[in-house]
Amino acid sequence: MKNSLTTRMILWVTLSVTAIFTAVGSYDYWFTNNLLNLQLRQLAELEVSASETKASDMLDRLQHQANLTAALVTQVAPSQKKLESMISTAMQQNEAAYGMAIVVEPNKTSDAENKSYASYFFRSGEGLNFVNLASESYNFRQKGWYLQAQQLERPQWTEPYFDEGGGETLMSTYLVPVKREGGLTLITIDLALSTLQKMLAKMEDKQDMSIYAMTPGGHIISGNDESLMLQKLYEIGSRAKNTPPWFHTLIEEIKNQKSGSFSTYCQRMQEDCWISYAPLGNTQWTMLVSYSHASLTAQLNTYSIHRFLQMALGIILLILVIWGITRRQFLPLKELDKATQAFAQGKLDYALPTAPRNDEIGSLTQSFSRMQVSLQEHIEELQRETKQRERINSELRTASEIQQSLLPSDNEINNNALGIQLSAYLQPARAVGGDLYYYHIQKNDEPLLRFVIGDVSDKGVAAAIFMARVVTAIRAIGEQVADPADLLTQLNHQLVEDNEACMFVTLLAGTLDLHSGELKIASAGHPMPFYLHAESDKVAQIKQITQLNGPALGLYEYQFESLKITIEPNSYLFAYTDGLDEATNTQNELYGEDSIIKNLKSHFPSSTSELISNTLSAVNQFTDDAEPADDLTLLAIHWEGAIKGQAKMHTKEITIKNRQEELEQVNSALNEYLVEHHLPESLLLELQLIAEEIMVNTINYGYADRVDETISVLISHNEHQITMTFVDRAKAFNPLELGEARLGIPEAEDAVGGLGVHLVKEMCDTCSYEYVAGENRFTVKILLEKGK
Amino acid sequence: MSLTIEVVNQAADCTKMYLIGRLDTNTAQQLEGIIDKEVNEKTNMLTFDLANLEYISSAGLRVLFKTSKALKKHGGHFALMHLQPQIQKVLDIVKALPTVPIFRNEQEMDEYLDAMQKKVLDGDN
């Protein structure tokens, strides 16, 4: 599922949407940020100006009260009593005022009747306290505020001081001097610093800011910030080690009663802040507000977090929705995928999903459905055809077996007695073919090998049927005529009749006299055989026997003639059909006669079967397993020539049933043979012993429970040796492969069989075994010249 | 040709058999039957006189092996005498019966038997 369409779709859509969201969100954030910043700044400025207004209001009201009282004193000159009651009333009306004093110092010379006095009212608890400042204990003339007032032309605020004996609190006093005729009348109004501080603190609490009020002399009154309380602004700069660059500018501005604001990094608050300053009306006081950026941006941050969460939630929801939609959309595709895999595994009856919509997937499903139907039909068709082909193949196999049975039952002759060895090989290009071979040993006084090799025109079934006709005719005619030329002539006569299809066959027929080595050979359009002569395993001669060829059989009447030559002992004849010399490789090159000769020369055979296998492996190497174009037939004959010029070979064949009792027949037959041929009687017991051991072994173990089987022994001799060949059709068993018999007294009885074989091996001079065409052939030779 | 067997009981525990003719696959059973009948646990000495045995095959050898083994089992003795050359040859080939005493004539056998008896008597003393 990792690479599924759904996953990729979700991934890509999510990535794209996230990118778009981020871009839009970033712009929105920037824009909103600016807007908010502006709004917050305006809001902060509004707060600052509200605070300024409040503070300056209070100061203004105090100044106004004092000024008003002073004006009254100037205009009306009320009596002390009256004045004191006025002040007391004013105090009650103006809650911000901590205390008020009136000091009258008449000019002693001109205004003698007017006495001097100094009355002070200040708040204490619920009511007002009165203090006579002119008392001995207070002695106002020594106080700083009075000394300052004496110097004043215009009303002025004192710097903060503690009024010991008077208001008994930290305060700043507004002094309004009225100078008249050399005397001084002074009206004062006190602002308790705690009142101002409380007000500032209250404002600070409401807003997230620090507010400082500054006296005309530069003393700082702070709200909640105790550390700066009563510090002198101008001295902070000189005390601190690292004053920021804007600090001195700020002091200048404040001195000049200017207002302004700026943003900077604020060391005290350890963050960015916004600082605003302004003079408080015409009071000569100044207010300074520092507003933390954090409180400004906190709101913005809250907004941003909300904004981000909103976006994240949106994306998650989007993914879910996309996942849901894609799944729903791709579900039919998945089903189709499953169906395809099932098809691939051969489950063609797998139910396809129904196509709910008429979209691309629907149309794809319909196409699949059509494909399924046509595949099913196609496979059924294939199965039908395969069945039919099977039937034809099985018929062809039967035909092939029948054709095989037309050929000699063995493809080998190995007759030591007659000194003849023959191997044949036939490989049809198709199931059945048109090639044929035939051989037969005529065993009479003049043993004769007849052989035929041929090639019917065309291949396949037609050729096979014609081949059958040819072989049958050869068998029939071969019984009657001895000369190969006569065989060809008569065969041709038969084939020419009723040959509407104009089929023809090239044929090579020959006979070999096994006594004299006389070879008669006649050809009907067939290549001549090769002749190999070996003298002490060396190539002495290879030549193709040349002779004028007759026409292929089946075309027109013709009188064939045979060539008659005598071959040397220990020589080979090698006949073939055009499947060999016309074998073609993948480059369309022909194998050719030269290659045959070259191969025969380089691998001189030691037996006919080796000749055949060598030739086959050479031609197979040449064609490199290319499909054979034509039937291939090879026939190799080896004549030992051992009996050439000798007395006639004497042979006798005895056949018995597989019963021990019948051994008597063998015993007497061997006896008769020795007597008949004047062979030494001393051999009898030895021959009998060998025969008994081998035949008993075959009867008891080879045939075991089988009944009515036969064993033959072929006995022959020449002047050198006696040969016995035992032939049976029991299961293949090579006694020579039996391990050496345990000698001495055997432990178990079954080892006695091995003992018998041991006896045979010791008795004879050579023994050999072969399994040919379902027959065990065990040959034993005993030399005569040893004088046995 | 067939096999003729003449049995001579020289003593209660001493038997001699004359085998005349051929000892082959077909006649081996015949000899086996006779031996089963004549030879038992009491037999101390069994001698085959093969003067007139013309032929022996591995089936015949098997009977001789079996008899030799059976006798040895209960301490009996087994001997052959008067072997013809062809019989001798077969025995040579299979290197059979190396421990079996083979006597050329009656005298040799008598000497062997005397020696045996003496051995037994000495053992008793």
Statement to judge: residues A691 and A761 lie in one domain: yes
pLDDT tens digits for range A3-30? 677 788 778 888 888 898 889 888 988 8
Statement to judge: residues A258 and A398 lie in one domain: no
Q: Does residue A5 form part of some domain?
A: no
pLDDT tens digits for range A412-433? 888 877 888 999 999 888 878 8
Residue of B nearest to A664 (CA): B1
Model confidence at A113, pLDDT cuts 50, 70, 90, reads low
Locate tokens 């005349």: which residue?
Answer: B20
Cβ within 8 Å, pair A745-B97: yes
Greatest Cα pair distance, chain B, in angstroms, is 51
- How far apart (Å, rounded) are the C-alpha atoms in residues A610 and A542? 17
Cβ within 8 Å, pair B26-A744: no
pLDDT of A750 = 47
Looking at A296, A323, A338, the residue that finishes a domain is: A296
B55: nearest CB among A661, A688, A759: A688
pLDDT of A549 = 75
Q: Return the closest-CA partner of residue A195 out of A234, A167, A231, A154.
A: A167
Which residues, 6+ apart, have CB-to-CB distance to A742 below 8 Å? A751, A754, A755
pLDDT of A582 = 86
pLDDT tens digits for range A134-154? 888 888 888 888 888 888 888
Model confidence at A644, pLDDT cuts 50, 70, 90, reads very low
Q: Are A578 and A562 in contact (CB under 8 A)?
A: no
Model confidence at A575, pLDDT cuts 50, 70, 90, reads very high
Q: Are A411 and A418 in contact (CB under 8 A)?
A: no
Statement to judge: residues A507 and A526 lie in one domain: yes
Statement to judge: residues A654 and A632 lie in one domain: no
For A151, A169, A393, A723, the CA distances from A284, given in Å and listed in that order, are 18, 22, 127, 158
A685: nearest CB among B26, B68, B86: B86
Cβ within 8 Å, pair B55-A660: no
Q: Does residue A725 form part of some domain?
A: yes
Judged by DSSP in three states, B2 sits in: coil
- How far apart (Å, rounded) are the C-alpha atoms in residues A171 and A195? 9
Cβ within 8 Å, pair A663-B98: no
Cβ within 8 Å, pair B55-A661: no
Cβ within 8 Å, pair A759-B54: no
pLDDT of A109 = 60
CA distance B9 to chain A (A): 26
CA distance B125 to chain A (A): 34
Looking at A573, A606, A639, the residue that finishes a domain is: A639
Statement to judge: residues A390 and A430 lie in one domain: no
Statement to judge: residues A686 and A563 lie in one domain: no
| A749 Cβ under 8 Å from any chain B Cβ | yes
Q: Does residue A146 form part of some domain?
A: no
pLDDT tens digits for range A285-303? 998 888 777 766 777 788 8
Q: Return the closest-CA partner of residue A764 out of A738, A786, A734.
A: A786
Model confidence at A538, pLDDT cuts 50, 70, 90, reads low
CATH topology assigned to domain B3-124: Transcription Regulator spoIIAA (3.30.750)
Statement to judge: residues A501 and A597 lie in one domain: yes
Cβ within 8 Å, pair A744-B95: yes
Q: Does residue A117 form part of some domain?
A: no
Q: Which helix (H) or strand (E) holds A130?
A: strand A127-132
Cβ within 8 Å, pair B58-A763: no
Chain A residues inside the 8 Å CB shell of B24? 663, 688, 692
Residue A499 has pLDDT above 70, yes or no: yes
Structure ipTM:
0.80
Statement to judge: residues A560 and A589 lie in one domain: yes
Cβ within 8 Å, pair A752-B69: no
Range of the domain at A752: 650-783
pLDDT tens digits for range B85-105? 888 888 888 776 666 777 877
**Which of A685, A749, A758 has the highest number of chain B CBs within 10 A, making it the mutation to test binding with B?**
A685
| Chain centroid to CA A720 | 78
| A752 Cβ under 8 Å from any chain B Cβ | yes
Strand order in the sheet with A271-280: A220-222, A209-214, A285-292, A271-280, A260-266
Number of domains in chain A: 4
**Angle at the Cα of A555 from the Cα atoms of A552 and A559, rounded to 5 degrees:** 70
Judged by DSSP in three states, A174 sits in: strand
Cβ within 8 Å, pair A756-B93: no
Statement to judge: residues A379 and A421 lie in one domain: no
B65: nearest CB among A667, A745, A758: A745
Q: Are A209 and A291 in contact (CB under 8 A)?
A: yes
CA distance B118 to chain A (A): 28
**Which of B56, B57, B90 has the highest number of chain A CBs within 10 A, making it the mutation to test binding with A?**
B57
CA distance A659 to chain B (A): 10
Residue A46 has pLDDT above 80, yes or no: yes
- How far apart (Å, rounded) are the C-alpha atoms in residues A369 and A375? 10
Buried b (16+ CB within 10 A) or exposed e, B6-22: eeeeeeeebbbbbbbeb
Q: Which of A53-62, A351-360, A696-705, B79-88 has the lowest mean pLDDT?
A: A351-360
CB pairs under 8 A between A and B: 65
CA distance A752 to chain B (A): 7
- How far apart (Å, rounded) are the C-alpha atoms in residues A134 and A146? 12
**Which of A689, A698, A743 has the highest number of chain B CBs within 10 A, making it the mutation to test binding with B?**
A689
Q: Does residue A302 form part of some domain?
A: no
Chain A residues inside the 8 Å CB shell of B58? 693, 752-753, 755-756, 759
**Which of B94, B97, B99 has the highest number of chain A CBs within 10 A, making it the mutation to test binding with A?**
B94
pLDDT of A80 = 81
Query: What is the average pLDDT across B47-53?
Result: 90
Cβ within 8 Å, pair A663-B26: yes
Q: Does residue A259 form part of some domain?
A: yes
Statement to judge: residues A235 and A250 lie in one domain: yes
pLDDT tens digits for range A253-267? 888 888 888 888 877
Query: What is the average pLDDT across A64-86?
Result: 84
| A628 Cβ under 8 Å from any chain B Cβ | no
Q: What is the CATH number of the domain that holds A209?
A: 3.30.450.20
| A688 Cβ under 8 Å from any chain B Cβ | yes
Statement to judge: residues A633 and A751 lie in one domain: no
The ranges assigned to domains in chain B are: 3-124
Which residues, 6+ apart, have CB-to-CB distance to A568 below 8 Å? A517, A533, A641
Cβ within 8 Å, pair A689-B97: no
Residue of B nearest to A788 (CA): B86
CA distance B124 to chain A (A): 31
Q: Pairing mode, if any, of strands B14-23 and B45-56?
A: parallel
Cβ within 8 Å, pair A696-B68: no
Which range in A508-517, A715-724, B109-118 is most confidently predicted, on average pLDDT? Answer: A508-517
Model confidence at B125, pLDDT cuts 50, 70, 90, reads very low
CA distance B15 to chain A (A): 22
Chain B residues inside the 8 Å CB shell of A689? 55, 57, 90
| A614-622 long-range contacts, CB within 8 A, separation 24+ | A615/A574, A615/A576, A615/A580, A616/A425, A619/A580, A619/A583, A619/A591, A622/A583, A622/A585, A622/A591, A622/A595
CA distance B51 to chain A (A): 16
CA distance B93 to chain A (A): 7
Statement to judge: residues A443 and A457 lie in one domain: yes
Cβ within 8 Å, pair B95-A693: no
Cβ within 8 Å, pair B57-A756: yes
| A745 Cβ under 8 Å from any chain B Cβ | yes
Looking at A605, A639, A673, the residue that finishes a domain is: A639
Q: Which of A187-191, A329-333, A503-507 has the lowest mean pLDDT?
A: A329-333
Cβ within 8 Å, pair B65-A664: no
pLDDT tens digits for range A614-633? 999 999 888 887 778 788 99
Which range in A111-120, A258-267, A466-475 is most confidently predicted, on average pLDDT? Answer: A466-475
Q: Return the closest-CA partner of residue A395 out of A458, A469, A455, A460.
A: A460
Cβ within 8 Å, pair B26-A661: yes
Residue A652: both structure tokens together: 């006798």
Q: Are A607 and A639 in contact (CB under 8 A)?
A: no
Chain B residues inside the 8 Å CB shell of A661? 26
pLDDT tens digits for range A306-338? 888 988 898 888 888 888 888 887 787 888 888
Chain A residues inside the 8 Å CB shell of B62? 746, 749, 752, 755
Handedness of CA A77, A78, A80, A85 (dihedral sign): negative
Q: Does residue A113 form part of some domain?
A: no
Cβ within 8 Å, pair B90-A759: yes
**CB neighbour class for A719 (10 Å; exposed up to 12, middle 13-18, buried from 19):** exposed
